Amino acid sequence: MGLRSIFMRTVKSTPPKSQFREMTCDPGMPGWKRTLDIVFILLISPLLLPSAVLIAGYIRIVSVGPVLFRQERVGHLGRRFMCLKFRTMVMGAETAKHQEHLQQLINSDAPMVKLDAHGDARIIPFGVWLRSSGLDELPQLVNVLRGEMSLVGPRPCTAYEYGHFLPWQRERFNTLPGLTGLWQVSGKNRTTFAEMIEMDISYAKNKTFWLDLAIILKTLPVMLGQVWGAWKKKALLLTARSRRAVRISS
């Protein structure tokens, strides 16, 4: 059974929005989830640690500023924590456009296309590939080890985004945020904000060891597909620019 089928089955068992209430107590995380996180990180660390060192060195060479980007995010039951990422934007990049874009996505049924989908001058060289592959999020393994995140769960949102959630939508915070998740491997940028929330709530209510394992195994093919999509967009953009240049010169 595919992940989409699992999602549709679990959504059918989800109560109506009017029945949701914000949690006031910590239900705790199942022991298997923490065990899966630690064991998986230990297994993949020989591969990921050298990759992280190379990425950090590259960022240090091509861009002035710190290697890591730190930002306060909202996690389990609304708790705040400092989320880590490799910095893929130039220092001092303004955030007003991102907040405006996010507000539009929340208030519409438009697919959750990233702001940089059609290019962004704020991104450092090769930053698009780091972001599309998800390698910019490798430092979040530290957040997982700290217990602030899990390998699988809803994406950690910013405090600005959290302030726009309705009470029933905050059911998604009844589980740890994750590096990957049901939404991330079920369409992601082709889905709407409302669909993301439904998937996140469904996962928070129905997470199991086997569902987490299935999501982890599906993440690599999804990442490769995102890199391929980013490459095609880049190729199309370069082709369009060269054709424009030819027309102008002629």
The per-residue pLDDT for range 152-194, each reduced to its tens digit, is 999 999 998 998 899 999 999 999 999 999 999 988 778 888 8
pTM for this model (two decimals): 0.79
Look at residue 118 in the predicted model and tell me its pLDDT: 57
Whether 123 maps to a domain, the answer reads yes
Whether 59 maps to a domain, the answer reads yes
How far is 103 from 238, CA to CA, in rounded Å? Answer: 30
Whether 14 maps to a domain, the answer reads no
Whether 196 maps to a domain, the answer reads yes
Whether 167 maps to a domain, the answer reads yes
Look at residue 14 in the predicted model and tell me its pLDDT: 42
Look at residue 240 in the predicted model and tell me its pLDDT: 61
Sheet with strand 68-74: strands edge to edge: 80-86, 68-74, 157-158
Range of 20-24, 54-58, 101-105 with top mean pLDDT: 54-58
Of residues 240 and 133, more confidence is placed in 133
Asked if residue 8 has pLDDT above 90, the reply is no
Taking a C-beta distance cutoff of 8 angstroms, is the pair 93, 100 a contact? no
Kind of pairing, strands 150-152 and 80-86? Answer: unpaired
Radius of gyration of the chain (CA): 19
Whether 56 maps to a domain, the answer reads yes
Q: What range does the domain containing 117 cover?
A: 30-241
User: Could you give the number of structural domains in the chain?
Assistant: 1
Taking a C-beta distance cutoff of 8 angstroms, is the pair 69, 85 a contact? yes
Q: Region 217-239: what's the mean pLDDT?
A: 74
Asked if residue 16 has pLDDT above 50, the reply is no
Asked if residue 30 has pLDDT above 50, the reply is yes
Whether 249 maps to a domain, the answer reads no
Q: Region 87-93: what's the mean pLDDT?
A: 85
- Break the chain down into helix, strand, coil percent, rounded to 5: 60, 10, 30
Burial of 90 (0-12, 13-18, 19+ CB in 10 A): middle
Label residue 6 by pLDDT band (50, 70, 90): very low
Label residue 201 by pLDDT band (50, 70, 90): very high
Whether 147 maps to a domain, the answer reads yes
Dihedral angle computed from the Cα positions of residues 74, 79, 81 and 83, in that order, rounded to the nearest 10 degrees: -30
Burial of 207 (0-12, 13-18, 19+ CB in 10 A): buried
